Amino acid sequence: MTSSAQTLTRRHMLSGAAGLAALGAGWIGAPRVASARQADNLARVDALIARMTIQEKAGQLNLLADPFRFRPQNVNPLDGQGDPARVTQMIREGTVGNLFNGIGADAGRRIQTIAVEESRLGIPLLFAADIIHGLKTVFPVPLAEAAAFDPDLAQRTARAAAVEGAASAVHQTYAPMVDVARDQRWGRVVEGAGEDVWLNEVLSAARVRGFQGERGLADRDALLATPKHFAAYSAAIAGMDYNTTDMSEATLRGVFLPPFKAAFEAGALSVMSGFNALNGVPVTGNPWLLTDILRDEWGFAGFVVSDYTSENELIAHGFAADGRDAARIALLAGVDMSMVSGLYLEHIPDLVAKGDVPLARVDQAVRRVLMTKAALGLFDNPYRGCDPRRERAVVGSKAHHDLAREAGVKSIVLLKNEGALLPLKPSGQKIALIGPFGDDVDNIFGPWTIWGDESRRVSLEAGFRAAMADAGDLVVVKGSEVEAELAGGIEAAVLAAGQADVVVLAIGESTRMSGEAQSRTEIDIPAPQRALAEAVAATGKPVVVLLRNGRALELAGPVKDAPAIVVTWFLGSEMGHAVADVVFGKVSPSGRLPVSFPHRSGQSPYSYDHRITGRPADNSLATQEYVARYRETTNTALYPFGHGLTYGAVTYGAVTPSETSLAWDGSVELSVSVTNTGDRAVEETVQLYIHDRVASLVQPGRRLRDVRKVTLAAGETKAAVFTLRRSQLEFIGGDGRPTVEPGVFNVWLTSSAQAGTPVTVRLAPPA
């Protein structure tokens, strides 16, 4: 990383006019315009900038949590943002240009009116919100939805969330989170698309397309997307949220950056910088990331917003001396908008007056923010999203709830189903629904819902009752709290299990056990629930485990040994219906794990695509010594990435490549036949993995490069056909650049990261 490290040091050391001159005019950069509309917007914006005072400029770069509609728990003393009267005054003065986490058409109009009618320049406010997996209608948490391996679904749920948000006076969402999550201890795994780079890229682009829509940002249903947290935030050492990150440039560019690039290629026009330091430089003060890569390499034209006071945290990092220094470093690095800290407002005038930040850099940041407001159509229609009739018509619509149910069904992953215990019969079978999540509604939305409609949460019990013919066949017993014992709970559970034909054990994590600041040292099921599972298993009744979870879990003892295990995550508003649809066989399960379930917590961080070692072990060699394994387990997964069963079975034929040699600019077709040997319609997700056998950097054992969804009627056989090209064989080399090397590649078309037998394809050198 020599050259980038040098650039970084040079930039960080800069201060004063001489240093700033060294940045060169190119760094300040002329704005690019791609259309007549953008040229008009630019003329309008530049005319405004010419009239703005330095305080008004700082105001456009200042973002506060909305005190009118959403009060943050910890009001920041720097700016009194929890005080509506104070913020009203700031809007009038033009010292705040952006508010977040307030919603509502009526309130939006009231607050926007202050900016448009009562401030000197009448610049509209930008309203942002954390709309992560739905607004009032709550869709599955992003990790769950990733299990559908279905970009079209992700795009549709993002679209529905955007329609609800945009009708509720929101212009920007702080989503998607595109942090590739390889350590399941990290609580925010739940907010993203899991451990795989390719799946993150594909879903990142789909979600951006969904939020922003296809009719331009000025469309009434569009939300500006904000991929976050740039960059490598999820690589927090030991999985502890906010922890520092340290990695090679090849890993940064090969694993953590691609989903951001995919988001920008899909049109995302804002991005959030993270809390973490990367290789010793906090990303919110990191010009190499925020300017060299983001602007100069990728040509990103939108604005960068810090994450909740992350510029202020440069002080705690020991990277800035005080608030003024922190504002200087963040601004010079490339952060355009400051979230909550108030530091930009407080210090920009003096930083510019003393020559520590060039006015041109402030103007550039203001231009980016105002150009985005213009792209959203706010100068022409500042009251977009402020029509309560439209808000009532679209928010929580039947179409959105139907979609939440469909997405819920597609997110469910069947890990195990011995003796075809599932599906259960909707009648004639006595079911004991046991565990803390049976009648619970507090843990079906999962983390990151501020406005979900709590009156429309479907519990498992409600879903089961709606699906079952005779309500008398279901008994519901809690048995245990999530993290504490329940007096008499186990006795009641054992009694109920004894009288039932089958037990459905709904156990796992509560909403609060994943999400921001919710890292865990062990990714296991809490002890009181393990005791419950033990007691229920001892009754000898067949047990179906329904896991509630925001990350991969370590499964042990009677949970691991249960004949049927289903991953149900947090599925949102329609959770109970979606689970019942699968459990009672209305729909065959089709989800696949977007994260590996390791044997033991201590394998973390774990991802299927870790680089191979010189002492590889394999699954069957538990007693082999002097290989890369633990004393207690091989370093494989109990349930690997990509795994997921359905009702009945799907078998794979041999993989046939059209040719065994791939020309440099050519392609090879690979095909495999898949057969549904069961008696129900199913959907199979065929996965294409590659491995570069000999390369100039040690490669992962496998990398996912494509998938095909195949729907199969009972007894049907179809071919899944893939096209392999050189671009899919590329990796990031030691110099940080995309590399592809001629030679032999293993290629799998198979059902999971641990299944299948490879064929070989030789990439020929350029002719």
Whether residue 231 has a cis bond before it, omega within 30° of 0: yes
Cα separations (Å) of 270 from 199, 290, 294, 309, 578? Answer: 21, 12, 11, 17, 34
Dist CA 1 CA 685 (whole Å): 38
Provide the mask over 454-473, with x wherever binding to ligand NOJ is found by CB under 6 A and - wherever it is not: --------------------
Rounded least distance, CB 189 to ligand NOJ, Å: 13
Cα of 33 vs its chain's centroid, Å:
31
Dist CA 72 CA 63 (whole Å): 14
Rounded least distance, CB 177 to ligand NOJ, Å: 7
Rounded least distance, CB 186 to ligand NOJ, Å: 12
Unique residue bearing structure tokens 């990796």: 731
Cα separations (Å) of 686 from 197, 397, 671, 720? Answer: 17, 34, 10, 7
Rounded least distance, CB 737 to ligand NOJ, Å: 31
**Residue 7 burial (CB < 10 Å; 0-12/13-18/19+)?**
middle
- Nearest partner of 329 among 648, 19, 546, 701, judged by Cα: 19
Dist CA 245 CA 346 (whole Å): 30
Rounded least distance, CB 228 to ligand NOJ, Å: 5
Rounded least distance, CB 87 to ligand NOJ, Å: 17
CA trace torsion 676, 678, 679, 685 (10° rounding): -50
Rounded least distance, CB 60 to ligand NOJ, Å: 19
**Nearer to ligand NOJ among residue 70 and residue 383 (C-beta):** 70
Check if the beta carbon of residue 546 is closer than 8 Å to that of residue 566. Answer: yes
What DSSP character marks residue 285?
G
In this structure, what token pair is assigned to residue 44? 């309008």
**Nearer to ligand NOJ among residue 228 and residue 629 (C-beta):** 228
Which residues 636-695 are close enough to bind ligand NOJ by CB under 6 A? none
Cα of 721 vs its chain's centroid, Å:
29
HSE, side-chain direction, 13 A CA sphere, residue 245? 30
- Nearest partner of 266 among 233, 305, 228, 227, judged by Cα: 227
Dist CA 357 CA 333 (whole Å): 11
**Nearer to ligand NOJ among residue 275 and residue 647 (C-beta):** 275
Rounded least distance, CB 341 to ligand NOJ, Å: 12
Cα separations (Å) of 35 from 38, 43, 377, 739? Answer: 5, 12, 15, 34
∠ CA 119-125-126, nearest 5°, is: 165
According to the binding rule CB under 6 A, does residue 174 interact with ligand NOJ? yes
**Nearer to ligand NOJ among residue 230 and residue 308 (C-beta):** 308
**Nearer to ligand NOJ among residue 164 and residue 307 (C-beta):** 307
Rounded least distance, CB 282 to ligand NOJ, Å: 14
**Nearer to ligand NOJ among residue 228 and residue 548 (C-beta):** 228
Rounded least distance, CB 447 to ligand NOJ, Å: 11
Which residues 305-334 are close enough to bind ligand NOJ by CB under 6 A? 307-308
Q: How many residues bind ligand NOJ (CB under 6 A)?
A: 6
Cα separations (Å) of 692 from 42, 157, 614, 744? Answer: 48, 36, 15, 7
Dist CA 560 CA 742 (whole Å): 43
Check if the beta carbon of residue 436 is closer than 8 Å to that of residue 480. Answer: yes
Which residues 467-506 are close enough to bind ligand NOJ by CB under 6 A? none
**Nearer to ligand NOJ among residue 79 and residue 307 (C-beta):** 307
**Nearer to ligand NOJ among residue 350 and residue 516 (C-beta):** 516
According to the binding rule CB under 6 A, does residue 228 interact with ligand NOJ? yes
Q: Which residues are catalytic?
A: 307
**Nearer to ligand NOJ among residue 485 and residue 516 (C-beta):** 516
- Show the beta-strand stretches assigned E in 66-110: 98-100
Whether residue 176 has a cis bond before it, omega within 30° of 0: yes
**Nearer to ligand NOJ among residue 182 and residue 228 (C-beta):** 228
> Nearest to ligand NOJ by Cβ — which residue?
174
Whether residue 598 has a cis bond before it, omega within 30° of 0: no
Query: Residues interacting with ligand NOJ, by CB under 6 A?
Result: 130, 174, 228, 307-308, 516
